[in-house]
Amino acid sequence: MKKIVVIHYGEIAIKGENRIYFERQLIKNIKRVLSKTEYIEIQRLRGRIIIFLTEAASEESLAIRLGNIFGIANFSFGVGVETDLQVMKETAWELIQPMAFESFSVNTRRAQKEFELNSMQLNREVGGYIQDRCKKRVDLTNPEATVHIELTERGAFLFTRKLPGLRGMPVGVSERAVSLLSSGIDSPVASHMMMKRGVHLVYAHFHSQPYTSKASQDNTEKLVELLTKLQYYSKVYFVPFIDIQKEIMTKAPAPFRVLLYRRYMIRLSERIAGIERCRALVTGENVAQVASQTLSNIRVVGEVTSLPILRPLAGFDKDEIVQRARTIGTYDISIAPYEDCCTLFIPDKPATKAHSDRLEAAEKLLEMDDLLDEAMQRAEMKIFRSGE
């Protein structure tokens, strides 16, 4: 009898070669959070991944780590035995016996059809064996306890409880993107959503030190530390933005300032994307959340790059975003007091329907080339790791 974890993933759409790629990335991500003393081997079997555990492995601690991996739909701790009817009966009984239940069911899935009994027959045989011992009722629709049996080419896997995973796609299967991470509530949630689709993120944070304290950078670091648990390795570019802001503030019309800040952030992020071979940008922008987030403004901000800008929060209400931020644990970090680089020098009335011509005209008056190069040269890159 071997201690195992059975891992199921969702997304039936993954077929053919994509599936192998998906499974390999998932196994790679799983290995990153396991220590060598915890497992003997990891096997990829039709539609599921099996981890063979060592005696030393602790289920409780593993459950937390596996619960933080994108791409897992659910996972179960159980045992692997040979595909032999008597052995399966006894094992099923051993697993279910310590549970408190009045009704139960046996649920068999066959990934390998060679066993002499089909799923229904095996359910009945094993169910009958358990019933003889405990005299409890079989209930197929709403049982209090279930023994799952999965027959595979590597033997039978039995378990009683499925723990929910994070779902989504394994980080790393969907190329890379630069996420513009302020230390506000929205952008960490946007980042989380894109990682959930398998995108590996490189972060860009723009700061106004020494005009603001280091708090926004410190907060951003805390956020990245937390988000790195989901992708194991993150690079963050801390880009000094104050000189660019000053140039805008002194030479551009007040209503355009916020949009101009954003356009230069996008341009710098595009440069980072070039260095890091990223295929898209991610922001926490949302339609109509604040007066400046109109479709016209979203358009003029996006115009300065040819990279697609992913805005996963575009259609959410603020309370939905806050709810998500709480669930993923970024909310408390995001609400810590700090001065955002954009709260500095923010005009009272930003333009709500800006036109590209007018922004381009305003940009013609700015001397930005050297300032942009300098910002990139002075940017500090930091690496965060987790899971080792």
- Contact residues for ligand ATP (CB under 6 A)? 180-182, 184-187, 204-206, 265, 283-285, 289, 340-342
Tell me how far, at minimum, the Cβ of 176 lies from ligand ATP, in Å: 16
DSSP 199-264: -EEEEEEEE-TTTS-THHHHHHHHHHHHHHHHHSEEEEEEEE-HHHHHHHHHHS-GGGHHHHHHHH
Tell me how far, at minimum, the Cβ of 290 lies from Mg ion, in Å: 9
Q: Which residue is nearest to ligand ATP (CB)?
A: 184
Tell me how far, at minimum, the Cβ of 186 lies from Mg ion, in Å: 7
181 binds, among Mg ion, ligand ATP, none (CB under 5 to 8 A by kind): ligand ATP
Tell me how far, at minimum, the Cβ of 185 lies from ligand ATP, in Å: 5
Q: Which is nearer to Mg ion, 170 or 184 (CB)?
A: 184
Tell me how far, at minimum, the Cβ of 319 lies from ligand ATP, in Å: 14
CB 276 within 8 A of CB 202: yes
187 binds, among Mg ion, ligand ATP, none (CB under 5 to 8 A by kind): ligand ATP
Q: CB under 8 Å to 258, separation ≥6 — which residues? A: 292, 342, 346, 347, 350
Q: How many residues does the chain have?
A: 388
DSSP 325-372: HHHHT-HHHHTS----TTTTT--SS--SS--HHHHHHHHHT---HHHH
Q: 3-state class of 110 per DSSP?
A: strand
Q: Which is nearer to ligand ATP, 170 or 184 (CB)?
A: 184
Q: Which is nearer to ligand ATP, 42 or 335 (CB)?
A: 335
| Euclidean distance between CA atoms 181 and 282, whole angstroms | 9
Q: Which is nearer to Mg ion, 127 or 184 (CB)?
A: 184
Q: Which is nearer to Mg ion, 152 or 183 (CB)?
A: 183
Tell me how far, at minimum, the Cβ of 342 lies from ligand ATP, in Å: 5
> Could you list the residues that contact Mg ion (CB under 5 A)?
182, 184
355 in the Ramachandran plot: left (φ > 0), alpha (ψ -120 to 50) or beta? beta
284 binds, among Mg ion, ligand ATP, none (CB under 5 to 8 A by kind): ligand ATP
Q: Which is nearer to ligand ATP, 276 or 340 (CB)?
A: 340
Q: 3-state class of 198 per DSSP?
A: coil
283 binds, among Mg ion, ligand ATP, none (CB under 5 to 8 A by kind): ligand ATP
DSSP 273-320: HHHTT--EEE----TTSSTT--HHHHHHHHTT-SS-EE-TTTT--HHH
Tell me how far, at minimum, the Cβ of 97 lies from ligand ATP, in Å: 51
Q: Which is nearer to ligand ATP, 265 or 371 (CB)?
A: 265
Q: CB under 8 Å to 69, separation ≥6 — which residues? A: 26, 29, 30, 33, 165, 166, 170, 230
